[in-house]
Amino acid sequence: MTVDGAALRSALRAHAAGVAVLTAAGADGPVGVTVTSFTSVSAGPALVSVTLADTSSTWARLQDCERFGIQLLGAHQADLALRFARPGADRFAPPTAWRPGPYGVPLLDDCLTWLLCSRYRQLRLGDHHLLVGAVEQVRQGAPGDSLVHLHGDLRPVSAPTPART
């Protein structure tokens, strides 16, 4: 027996989670969604993962894609994160700046980091799908502050100033 979903969500609100956007080339055009479930799985081989809910319309559109992109968002991209989290939004319409990358995977402009992944494993767990990707390419953008989700809001996180001795 487990706690109910509302109790779990309430308990985890105080846990900061990085904000990323998952993108893929769907059969009917580009598809993307904001995720806070992104995590590194393994360095050798290079594996990362995200989870998406059964009820996600984005999951239905990308579940068969062989390749996908993960864009790690900077503090300046809160509007982009909200746009890709909004159900029914035309996420790739202006003002979203993006371009097709390798294998047609949509890549968003001005991110901190881009990862191009191939599907490694997929597993249904409870009411979510775990998607594990093998990282084939990494590109780092300009350095900047990170964007996290904490206490129900998007917040910038700055790198701490090193202590000087």
Q: Would the pTM count as exceeding 0.85?
A: yes
CATH 2.30.110.10 fits 15-155, yes or no: yes
Q: By CB neighbour count within 10 A (0-12 exposed, 13-18 middle, 19+ buried), where does 4 fall?
A: exposed
3-state SS, residue 84 = helix
Q: What are the pLDDT digits (tens) for 87-103?
A: 888 999 999 999 999 99
Least confident range from 7-16, 23-32, 59-68, 111-120: namely 7-16
Read off the pLDDT band of 165 (50, 70, 90): low
* Mean pLDDT computed over every residue of the chain: 92
Q: How far apart are CA 69 and CA 72, in angstroms?
A: 10
Q: Is pLDDT of 163 > 80?
A: no
Q: Which range scores top for mean pLDDT: 100-104, 142-146, 160-164? A: 100-104
